[in-house]
Amino acid sequence: MISRFVIIFAMLALSAGNASLVPNKQSRPNIIWIYADDHASQAISAYDERFREIAPTPNIDRLAKEGAIFRNSYVANAICGPARACIMTGLHSHKNNVPNNGMPMDFSNPTFPGILRDSGYATALYGKWHLKVAPEGFEDWKIMKGQGRYFSQDYRVKTAKGEKEERIEGYSPDTVAKMTMDFLKANAGNGKPVMVMCQFKSPHGPWSPAIRNLDFLKDVEIPTPPTFYDDHEGRVAAGKANMTIFKTMREGFHLKGDPDSAHYDRLGPEQHKQAIDSLAYENRHLASGKLEGDDLKREKYQRYIHDYLRCVKANDENVGRILDYLEESGLAENTIVCYSSDQSFYLGEHGWYDKRFMYHQSFSTPLLVRWPGRINPGTQVNALVQNIDMAPTFLSIGGAKTPDTMQGVDLTPVLNGEKPADWRKSLYYHFYESEDPTHQVAKHEGVYDGRFKLIHFYEIGEWEFFDREIDPYELENRINDRSYLGTIAKMKTELKRLKAQYEVELP
Ligand code: CA
C-alpha cells in the first residue's frame, strides 16, 4: 500500500513539475464506444417519438440529456462488416478494403485503437466483431464467433500466445457489458487512459429477447409506420430488392417458428420452458395458418417489432449498468461514453426490415456522446457527420496524431452544437454488395447534402433524386422533375467532386 502511494505521489509530482514540457497523459479521458448491431434510430426515444410511450430507452436517452445527440449522423456503407471497418480506419470502403460483408479486416491500414494503444491507452474490444481475422491494436479482446448468438456465446479470446475458444454463459448483451466493466475495473484509474469497444450483437436478427424481457410489450398492438404499404413505384431498385417483412422475412428463422433459430437450445431447462411457452403464445396467430393478405402482413410486423424492441430494451438496460458503474466508481467525470450502431434499420418503413440502401433508415445511424465538462447537457448537433469521422475524433480526443490518409474528419469542433463555416456540405455513400442472394439490393452510390439526395444505381442504370424537405419518407423519385433540373445537375457535380476527393475509381 505504502509503495503504491509513493509511486502515485511521485507520478503526480513528475507530471506537475513537467507540465509545460510533457503533456499530462493521465488527464486524457477514457473512451467507451458502445456499438449496437442494426439499432434503428427510430427505436431510440431521444431520436423519435414512434415508440417513446411504449418502449422508451431511458438510459441511452441519458447520453442525449447529459451530452450530445447527433441529428445528422450517417454511414458510408450500410452493412455490418464494412461499417465496422469504416469505424476502425476512418476510411471509406474502397480504401479500407472491406466493401462487402464477410470480408476480413485489412490491418495494413492504421486503425484508431492501434494508434491510441501506441500513444499510451489501454485498449480492449468485446462482443460482435464480424471481421474474421484476429483484432489488432487491443491489449485484450473477446469476440463472438461469426454473427454471434444471443444465449451462451462461443468467443474467441485473446491469450498471451494467440487465442483460444471459450463458451461464456448468459445473455450476450449482458456478458459484453460485463466484460467492458471488468476491463474498466482492472485498468481505469491506474495512470493509463482506457479505450474500450463494447459491441452488442443485439438487436440484430433473429431478435431473441432476454428471458426477463419475454413479457415486455405482451399483447401490445404496435402501429405500423406510414410507409408500411409502400409499393416502391418510381424506384426500380427498391422494387427489385428482396427484404419485405411480408415476403422475405422467414417465419421459421426470423419469427422463430423454429425455436432453435432463436438460440434457445443452450438455455437451462427452466428458462428453455419459459422461452418455448412464450413463443407458442406469441406465434399462435401465425401458427393458425388462417391469416392472409394485410392481416398476415400486420401480424408478421407485430411479431418482428415486439422481439426487436425487446432486444433494444436489453441494450438500454446494459447502457444503464455501465453508466451506473461509471458513477459509482468515480470514473464518469473523465470518461466519454458514445452509443452508436453499425447502421440504422428498417422497422417496417417501405414494408421492409434490414438495411443496405441509401434511403434514410439505413443511411442514418444513431450517435450520442456524453463527455462531462466538455459537451454541454442537451446539445443538439446538426452538422453532417459520418462513421468514418469516429477514428480521427478519437485520435484527436486522445491527443494522438491522425494519419493524413484518414478520410474522416475530427468531430470535436462540432461537439457543442456549433457548425464551423467550412464544415463539409455533403456526404458520399457507396453500397457494393449486389451479389448477396438474399436481399438483392443493386450496387449504388450517392450524395446527400442535408436536404437533397441523389442516388445512382449504376449496376442497373437507374438514378433517383429526393427532396427530403417536402418528401421526408423518400417516396417520390424526382429525377425527371423539370423543376429540379438545376439542382440535380449541381448534385451530380457534387458527386463527382466527392469521388475525386475520396479517390473513388469505380464505377
Ligand atoms: Ca448491422
pLDDT digits (tens, 9 = 90+) for 46-96: 999 999 999 999 999 999 999 999 999 999 999 999 999 999 999 999 999
Banded model confidence at residue 261, pLDDT cuts 50, 70, 90: confident
- Asked if 393 contacts 410 with a C-beta cutoff of 8 angstroms, the reply is yes
For residue 286, pLDDT beyond 50: yes
Between the alpha carbon of residue 298 and those of residues 17, 48, 245, 280, the distances in Å are 68, 21, 9, 18
Q: If you measure from the C-alpha of residue 251 to the centroid of ligand 1, how many angstroms do you get, rounded to a whole number?
A: 20
Rg of the chain's alpha carbons, rounded to an integer?
23
Cα–Cα distance, 407 to 86 (Å, whole number): 10
Q: What is the pLDDT of residue 27?
A: 85
For residue 298, pLDDT beyond 70: yes
As given in the structure block, the three cell numbers for residue 196 are 474500450
Q: If you measure from the C-alpha of residue 342 to the centroid of ligand 1, how many angstroms do you get, rounded to a whole number?
A: 5
Cα–Cα distance, 77 to 355 (Å, whole number): 10
- Residue 479, strand partner residues: none
Q: If you measure from the C-alpha of residue 494 to the centroid of ligand 1, how many angstroms do you get, rounded to a whole number?
A: 28
Strands 385-386 and 73-74, sheet pairing:
parallel
Q: If you measure from the C-alpha of residue 505 to the centroid of ligand 1, how many angstroms do you get, rounded to a whole number?
A: 26
Cα–Cα distance, 56 to 49 (Å, whole number): 9
Q: pTM to 2 decimals?
A: 0.94
Q: For the chain, give the number of residues.
A: 507
- Neighbour tally for 265: CB within 10 Å: 12
CATH topology of domain 29-209+304-413: Alkaline Phosphatase, subunit A (3.40.720)
Cα–Cα distance, 430 to 410 (Å, whole number): 21
Cα–Cα distance, 193 to 122 (Å, whole number): 6
- What is the average per-residue pLDDT within 285-302? 95
For residue 22, pLDDT beyond 60: no
Residues contacting 474, CB < 8 A, separation 6+: 359, 360, 453, 466, 468
As given in the structure block, the three cell numbers for residue 478 are 424526382
Q: If you measure from the C-alpha of residue 6 to the centroid of ligand 1, how many angstroms do you get, rounded to a whole number?
A: 48
Q: If you measure from the C-alpha of residue 436 to the centroid of ligand 1, how many angstroms do you get, rounded to a whole number?
A: 15
